[in-house]
Amino acid sequence: MLNYIWFGMMFIAVITGIVNGTIEAVTQAAIDMAKVAVELAIGLIGIMALWLGVMKIAEKAGLMSLIAKVVKPITVRLFPDVPPDHPAMGSIVMNMSANMLGLGNAATPLGLKAMEELQQLNPNKDTASNAMVMFLAINTSSVQLILPATVVALMGMAASEIFLTTILATTCSTITAVIMVRWLEKRKRFALESDS
Amino acid sequence: MIESIIGSLNAGSKYIIPLLLVGIPFYGLAVKKVKVYEVFVEGAKDGFTIAVRIIPYLVAILVAIGMFRASGALDVLLGWLAPVLSFFGFPAENFPLAVMRPLSGSGSLGLLTDLVNEYGADSIQAKIGATMYGSSETTFYVLAVYFGSVGIVKSRHALAAGLTADAVGAMSAVFFCLLLLA
């Protein structure tokens, strides 16, 4: 699916660029964004190192499996393929908590740590496992209790009014994500080779 | 009531990171006798490799989205879809943001800023927009970074599930704002 969407976006962009006369802007955007991508990745190094270091301490101290145990009743349902006391569960929970509290900077390193641990359990290293897709879908649908600082700054006093609507909307989208993942993972189109 | 909850949540959130940064090593050192400095450095080493590993995935995704945005194709698409959407009661002013949200974080923040400047922060358009922005993530970016960091190229149903959830999130934002705030 990503193959078609990725190509489709560039194809449509070039066609529209030719028809609308925006082709120079399209070229410029391609060059600029390639640069931005590297800058974003390089900018992650410091914060990644910081959180991965702290997480390693948490892991060595047995905190990750402790956290995994506490939330076992929920996580075993969402991630049936992951052993309930596996450190991946601890990282997943830490990532979700960071997201809920609006700690975007901490959430990404924690999420990547969780991905790395899920990858260790994954038999096909180039293909996403069911647990990885579930984790990603929950992440992209963003369960948040605290509004992003940018929204609070923009909205001023009105920010307090959208607190409840944001929680309701994000709950709907997260529930949809979980249901969709569960439903789609069994479809032939998306099934793992070992299942079919 | 809600204001005081938000106030205390936001006031508390600034303490979370420093408390974690000091609390985790404290627990390791005091309770489990972990050599915290050595272990920290060992873990931190992965920061560089992971960040570098996501570069090709990020370049692929961001370049495609950047080209798409720069071409103006989005405006053409929105022009076609506007009559259909207004038929279903989806406010036309909020549609560009709903489409932009999974594609680009900075792009959707720009659109939200436009809504606030044009209609005011108290308007229903701005409230719907802010709810959409706050209740969703930049799906394509998260997919590239998370899967890229471990070398996953076959993303299976991740995008289909993520985009459906984004669509439902955007519709819920409209629904709840019109229900509760209009």
Inter-chain touch A162–B45, beta carbons under 8 Å: no
Q: What is the pTM of this model?
A: 0.88
Contacts of A125 in chain B (CB under 8 A): 150-152
Tens-digit pLDDT profile for residues A139-161? 998 777 778 778 888 888 888 88
Tens-digit pLDDT profile for residues B8-23? 666 666 787 888 899 9
B49: which residues sit within 8 A by CB, 6+ positions away? none
DSSP 8-state symbol, A1? -
- Written as one letter, the residue type at A32 is D
Cα(A156)–Cα(A195) distance, rounded to whole angstroms? 51
One-letter-per-residue 3-state SS of A136-183: HHHHHCCCCCCCCHHHHHHHHHHHHCHHHHHHHHHHHHHHHHHHHHHH
Cα(A41)–Cα(A27) distance, rounded to whole angstroms? 22
Indicate the pLDDT class of residue B103, thresholds 50, 70 and 90. very high
Phi and psi at B150, nearest 5°, equal -115, 10
- Written as one letter, the residue type at A87 is P
- Please choose, from the candidates B142, B177, B67, B40, the residue with its C-alpha nearest in 3D space to the C-alpha of residue A31: B67
For residue A84, give the 3-state DSSP assignment. coil
For residue A71, give the 3-state DSSP assignment. coil
What are the residues facing A127 on neighbouring strands? B154
For residue A122, give the 3-state DSSP assignment. coil
Q: Flag whether residue B74 sits within 8 Å of chain A, measured between CB atoms.
A: no
Average pLDDT estimate for B65-85:
88
Distance, in angstroms, between B82 CA and closest chain A CA? 19
Residue pointed to by tokens 């009105």: A158
Contacts of B52 in chain A (CB under 8 A): 41, 45
Contacts of A155 in chain B (CB under 8 A): 116, 121, 126-127, 130
Distance, in angstroms, between B85 CA and closest chain A CA? 19
Inter-chain touch B161–A133, beta carbons under 8 Å: yes
**Top-confidence residue, B97 or A143:** B97
Tokens of B113: 């800023």
**Residue A193: what pLDDT?**
65
What are the residues facing B154 on neighbouring strands? A127
Encode B131-148: b = buried (16+ Cβ within 10 Å), e = exposed. bbbbbbbbbbbbbbbbbb
Average pLDDT estimate for A167-185:
94
Q: Where are the alpha helices (DSSP H) in A85-125?
A: 87-100, 104-121
Residue A171 · residue B169 · CB < 8 Å: no
State ipTM. Answer: 0.89
Cβ neighbours, 10 Å, residue A50: 19
Indicate the pLDDT class of residue A196, thresholds 50, 70 and 90. very low
Distance, in angstroms, between B62 CA and closest chain A CA? 6
DSSP 8-state symbol, B137? -
**Residue A159: what pLDDT?**
85
Tokens of A45: 């190094």
Distance, in angstroms, between A30 CA and closest chain B CA? 5
The region that residue B174 occupies, defined by phi over 0 for left and psi between -120 and 50 for alpha, beta otherwise, is: alpha
Average pLDDT estimate for B106-112:
92
Q: Which of A92, A133, A186, A196 to mutate to test the interface with B (most CBs of B within 10 A)?
A: A133
Give the angle A40-A41-A42 at the CA atoms, nearest 5°: 95
Q: Flag whether residue A88 sits within 8 Å of chain B, measured between CB atoms.
A: no
At residue A21, does pLDDT exceed 70? yes
Nearest-by-Cβ selection for A154 from B116, B138, B153: B116
- Please choose, from the candidates B139, B21, B34, the residue with its C-alpha nearest in 3D space to the C-alpha of residue A47: B21
Largest CA distance in chain B: 66
Indicate the pLDDT class of residue A135, thresholds 50, 70 and 90. very high
Cα(B153)–Cα(A10) distance, rounded to whole angstroms? 19
Average pLDDT estimate for B59-72:
94
Considering A106-110, A138-142, B139-143, the range whose residues carry the highest mean pLDDT is B139-143
Share of chain A above pLDDT 90, in %: 53
**Residue A192: what pLDDT?**
79
